Amino acid sequence: MTNMLQSRWWSWGFRSTVMLYFVILIVLPILGIYGQSLSDGWPKFVSNLTEPLAWKAVMLTVKLALIATVINVLIGTMAGWVLIRYRFPGRQLLNSLVDLPFALPTAVVGLMIMLLLGPRSEVGQWADSLGFAILFHEPAIVIAMIFVTFPFVIRAVQPLLEEMDASEEEAAYTMGASKAKTFFRVILPAMMPGILSGAMLAFSRALAEFGAVVLVAGNIPGRTLVASVYIFGQIESDNPAGAAAVSVLLLTLSFVILWLVSYVQARRTGR
């Protein structure tokens, strides 16, 4: 009886500690942002959110994040396929490098892009000779977003490819289906939950990127000023309510995306 009571108390204490940690680390800061955004009333919140520079920054961020997500879906799906289905020298090294954006400080990513694509680099000079610039323009922002979100689609697709029953492909080939038809009719539907969840996570991550973007964007209001840099500028301008309003919009959008990811994963596992 004593051991049972001790086990119950230990279990209750463990759960309470985890919940307290969760509340302090996540729930309270989120509530604080929502409270700060509404500190001056609902009309001021709407005014901060619909302010022209703020709205343009949000729309630009959504547009560029969508472009980066589409590219990552295409390249990430192919990369995941190659890393699972093919054996070649250096495969393990490439597979480990996929997670590098998770470990690399994003400011370092921005510096790398500046050095590789800046006006003094060979790529930058080649772009100038063709009449367009990469650095401090939208292409540099997209490249930064692609780099920091690159692992999401790959890591979401790989487990599905590993779990896929090879007999389904063999049956399709036996029935005379071509490789292309087998891919689109058998393999791609099995990969789709991973592609969707990885794409949504990549899009959510790209929305909030700051460190890599701030160094390469140019930060021109209405042209290359993204939402995260706009938020930083509002804080520097002593307008926390304005910064919080845009933050709440991005935060709410991220919540919706995470709920969709959970829904897709629950549908895949049948729960």
- pLDDT per position as a tens digit, 2-13: 555 555 655 666
pLDDT for 158 beyond 70: yes
Return the structure tokens found at 228: 């995260």
Distance of alpha carbon 244 from alpha carbon 30, whole angstroms: 10
- As a whole number, the mean pLDDT across the chain is 82
- From CA 259, how far away is CA 268, in angstroms rounded? 14
Q: What CATH number does residue 221 fall under? A: 1.10.3720.10
Would 2 be classed as within a structural domain? no
The domain total for the chain is 1
Higher pLDDT, 70 or 173: 70
pLDDT in tens, 48-76: 888 888 899 999 999 999 999 999 999 99
Residue found by looking up tokens 């969709």 in the block: 260
For residue 33, tell me if it sits in a domain.
no
The residues, ordered by sequence, that sit 6+ positions from 149 with a Cβ below 8 Å of its Cβ are 68, 69, 72, 101, 201, 202, 203, 205, 206, 209
Specify if 9 maps to a domain. Answer: no
**Residue 175 resides in a domain:** yes
pLDDT of residue 75: 92
pLDDT at site 3 = 54
Residue 89 lies in a domain: yes
Looking at the chain, the whole-number percentage of residues with pLDDT higher than 70 is 90
- pLDDT tens string 107-154: 888 888 888 887 778 887 888 777 777 888 888 899 999 999 999 999
Q: Is residue 231 included in any domain, yes or no?
A: yes
User: Domain span at residue 72?
Assistant: 39-269
Model confidence band, residue 269 (pLDDT cutoffs 50, 70, 90): low
**Mean of the pLDDT values across residues 247-260?**
85
Give the separation between CA 244 and CA 235, rounded to whole angstroms: 9
Measuring CA to CA, which residue among 269, 257, 249, 145 is closest to residue 196?
257
Long-range residue pairs from 65-68, CB within 8 A, at least 24 positions apart, any chain:
65/145, 65/203, 65/206, 65/207, 66/203, 67/142, 68/142, 68/145, 68/146, 68/149, 68/202, 68/203, 68/206
* pTM assigned to the model: 0.84
Let me know if residue 77 belongs to a domain.
Answer: yes
In angstroms, rounded to a whole number, what is the distance separating the alpha carbons of residues 247 and 49? 10
- Note whether residue 6 is domain-resident: no
For residue 31, how far is the Cα from the chain centroid? 23
- Segment 160-172 mean pLDDT: 75
- What percent of the chain is predicted at pLDDT more than 90? 13
pLDDT at 196 over 70: yes
What was the pLDDT predicted at 72? 93
